[in-house]
Amino acid sequence: MDTITHNARASAIADPATAARWSIDAVAELLDLPFNDLLYRAQTIHRANFDVNAVQLSTLLSIKTGGCPEDCGYCPQAARYHTGVDNEVMLGIDEVVAAARAARDQGATRFCMGAAWRGPKQRELDRVLDMVKAVRGLGMETCATLGMLKAGQAEQLKEAGLDFYNHNLDTAPEFYGEIVSTRTQDDRLDTLAKVRSAGLHVCSGGIVGMGETRRTRAALIAQLANLDPYPESVPINNLVQVEGTPLHGTAELDAFEFVRTIAAARITMPTAMVRLSAGRQQMSEGIQALCFAAGANSIFYGDKLLTTGNPDALRDRALLTTLGMYPMQVASKA
């Protein structure tokens, strides 16, 4: 491609500095760029907004595992699937605080608490509020993912000291019904609106590798980027296939396509923390390094993500050292 043609093509792609919204076509054009051109653009935007060698370390703990009534096709915690995940009781506050303290001592600055609920009952939320207060008392950023929220619950979480609420959009609107039938994506957007209204930061991303097309991935990124404002944290998950779930056996996503998705998220959401989330255990160190080059600057850190494996802390620290990267010393307050 000659320089004139390349420049004309690049100028046709929406620029977040001048465009109010990202169209699906504009994000699809990003994903279609030659790989090196896409990474160069993402890296340029990343450098303009962050220390490119600093990575935020977050730890995720399942405080209530299994027994979820939803039918998300990717999730081993759904009660209706036979995945070997038991319906466990909620952890006690002492267990949660001990896990948070250990995560902090290993360098994590954000601690996320996840529960396999459609949404919390008030008596359940009351226990989570105590956990949030205790973890915040350790000097860490706090995040929770508890399902759909009812009126007033986001405000209670905010008052307890919660910083971020995670509620992923999962996939593009037109593909959502292929993955989940027990709720709509509008239900998810309603919870995100409650979270914003309460003054909480939003953590919202999606899952790729669920059999979707590249254009579907473009539509997901466009939808996230067009939230007003876009999420402060954007976890990009690569499907972890678990036997017993409907999506087990889905064709695996090409690793370079995953890197492209990271780059598109960085370009369309320049100041967001773009997080490598589920599926990282299956990635080579080389692909993870490319994801950092494409603008990822946050990882879940520890040996487990809810019910699936994650690279352990020592391996992560070794990789960062090899790359000349280091943990963020102060949690982002984007």
Domains and CATH numbers, the chain: 21-327 (3.20.20.70)
Q: Which of 110, 127, 143, 280 is catalytic?
A: 143
The residue type of 278 is A
Taking a C-beta distance cutoff of 8 angstroms, is the pair 306, 65 a contact?
yes
pLDDT of residue 308: 47
> Nearest to residue 28, comparing CAs of 41, 47, 17, 12?
12
b/e burial code for range 182-199 (CB count within 10 A of at least 16 → b)? ebebeebbebbebbbebe
Q: Which of 75, 104, 217, 260 is catalytic?
A: 75
Inter-axis angle of helices 285-293 and 255-268, to 10 degrees?
A: 20
pLDDT of residue 17: 45
pLDDT of residue 81: 83
Catalytic residue flag (residue 112):
yes
* pTM score: 0.88
Catalytic residue flag (residue 291):
no
Please, what's the largest Cα pairwise distance for the chain? 63
CA 103 → CA 245, 302, 333, distances in Å?
30, 8, 19
pLDDT of residue 204: 97
Lookup: tokens for 197: 């209204």
Q: Give the DSSP H or E segment for 84.
A: none
Residues of the chain with pLDDT under 50: 1-19, 304-310, 331-334
Catalytic residue flag (residue 68):
yes
Phi-psi region of 87 (alpha: psi -120 to 50; beta: other; left: phi over 0): beta
Distance CA 205, CA 186 (A): 15
Q: Which of 41, 104, 110, 112 is catalytic?
A: 112
Q: Which of 41, 104, 203, 291 is catalytic?
A: 203
- Name 304's Cβ contacts closer than 8 Å, sequence gap at least 6: 60, 62, 310
**Phi, psi (rounded to 5 degrees) for 187:** -60, -40
For 172, which DSSP code? -
Taking a C-beta distance cutoff of 8 angstroms, is the pair 233, 298 a contact?
yes
pLDDT of residue 209: 95
Distance CA 44, CA 46 (A): 5
Q: Which of 41, 68, 183, 291 is catalytic?
A: 68
Strand partners, 112: 60, 143
Lookup: tokens for 150: 């009812």
Distance CA 3, CA 41 (A): 15
Q: Which of 110, 266, 275, 280 is catalytic?
A: 275
The dihedral through the CA atoms of 4, 291, 261, 251 has a sign that is positive
> Nearest to residue 274, comparing CAs of 204, 189, 169, 201?
204
